[in-house]
Amino acid sequence: MFVKKATLLLVFGLFSSKLNAQVANDIHKFKWTVSGYTEAFFVTDFNQTQKGERQTFYYNYNRNKQLHFNQSSLKFNISSPKIAMNLALHAGTYVQDNYAKESNFAKHILEANINVALNNKKTIYLTAGIIPSHIGFESSVAFDNWNLTRSLLAEQSPYYETGFKFTYKPNEKYEFATLFLNGWQKINPLKFKAIRSFGTQFKYIPNANINFNWSLYAGSESRGAASDFRIFNNFYSQLIWNKRWRILAGFDFGMQQKYQQANEYYFWYSPIFITQFSFNDKLKAALRFEHYQDKNNIIVAMPSNAAFVVNGLSFNTDYFITPTLLLRMELRGLYSSSNTFQSDVGSIKNNRFFATSLAYKF
């Protein structure tokens, strides 16, 4: 199925008349670039002495007292003034955990897409293939995030998507996008009959110090042989307060049918606040407050259907050994009113751990 989908994407891109014309005009302008990223980590979970996986809802750094690579990737890019093609492959514990439901072939593809400018002004773009998610402010590449570990709302929303994305960027202040997708973080299409998923994104950047983002997802999600309709909103804003302080505030809100064709919905939500302080070009620190509430286990499956209601606090420091080599340390605590977290003595109400990582990109 993946091969068929990839073939259709290539046919759509390579044989449409407009793209053919652009390829003919730009073929001599193509440039190749290769980039890479790797990140090793070590986590000490204060609630566990055993080595191995820690919690079922972590998809990054989910190994205890073992030195591992969270993600290592290699990306190839071919670009011209109006066309760009990307192929990125990856491996690591993040791939093992987050791509567990994908085929053995597909799970090692981080990106496989083509991006085409549809007008001479280059204000309208079509992107097709496996692409980074349009949801959220954190990616699987820790180098780009303010914190070492991912927030709960990032871990429980898509890191990648498959489909078509139309982007309209009339100027530097506004950007609009519409997406037609295979589903909620899926490479292969859904096998059951369902309403196809779609998404939208709106960005507003009034100046260099502030930006706003609203991302929407809507589509059918599988629950065994049936499917229920899901609607999800992601809001966030980033503010550069001054040369030293940056602030980020975000809020996720989702709803899903209780059962197929129902008029009743289950809800979940997650607010977050992060502040980062730069001591200088090499040393930074960040503090994160977060809350995640999924009482009906729509996103986070819990034993015995226990409600997933968690508060979190984390503090991390970043030291740039060089501009491309980053050493990070983070102390994080998650707290719940119920026995949510796994430990050596069974389920408990908190999860505290210390993480460190060394990341390199080129």
* Six token digits for residue 272: 């977050």
- Reduced DSSP (H G I as helix, E B as strand, rest coil) percent helix, strand, coil of the chain, to 5: 15, 55, 30
Show me where the domains of the chain are located: 2-361
Rounded CA-CA distance 89/106 in Å is: 10
Residue 36 exposure: Cα atoms within 13 Å on the Cβ side = 6
* Residue 268 φ then ψ, to 5°: -145, 155
130: nearest Cα among 140, 120, 119, 122:
140
Q: If residue 116 lies in a helix (H) or strand (E), which one and from where to where?
A: strand 109-117
Q: Is 306 helix (H, G, I), strand (E, B) or coil?
A: coil
Measured in whole angstroms, the distance separating CA 207 from the mean position of its chain's CA atoms is 25
Place of tokens 């499956």: 301
Give the pLDDT confidence score for residue 79 in this predicted structure: 93
Return the half-sphere exposure (C-beta side, CA atoms, 13 A cut-off) of residue 345. 7
Token pair, residue 117, equals 């400018």
pLDDT at 14: 40
Q: What is the pLDDT of residue 20?
A: 53
3 state DSSP class of 335: strand
List the Cα angle 339/345/348 in 5-degree steps: 15
Q: Give me the average pLDDT of each 10-residue run along the chain (362 residues).
A: 43 45 60 96 92 90 96 96 95 96 93 96 96 95 93 96 96 97 85 73 97 96 70 97 96 90 88 98 97 94 85 98 97 93 86 97 94
Quote the longest CA-to-CA distance of the chain. 66
Domain over 2-361 is classified CATH 3.90.1300.10:
no
The pair phi, psi for residue 110, each rounded to 5°, is -80, -45
Q: Judge contact between 238 and 208, C-beta under 8 A.
A: no
Question: If you write DSSP's letter for every residue of 162-231 in order, what string do you get?
Answer: EEEEEEE-SSSSEEEEEEEESSTT-SSPPSS--PPEEEEEEEEEEETTEEEEEEEEEEEEEETTEEEEEE
- The structure's pTM equals 0.87
Q: Which two tokens stand for residue 283?
A: 């040393």
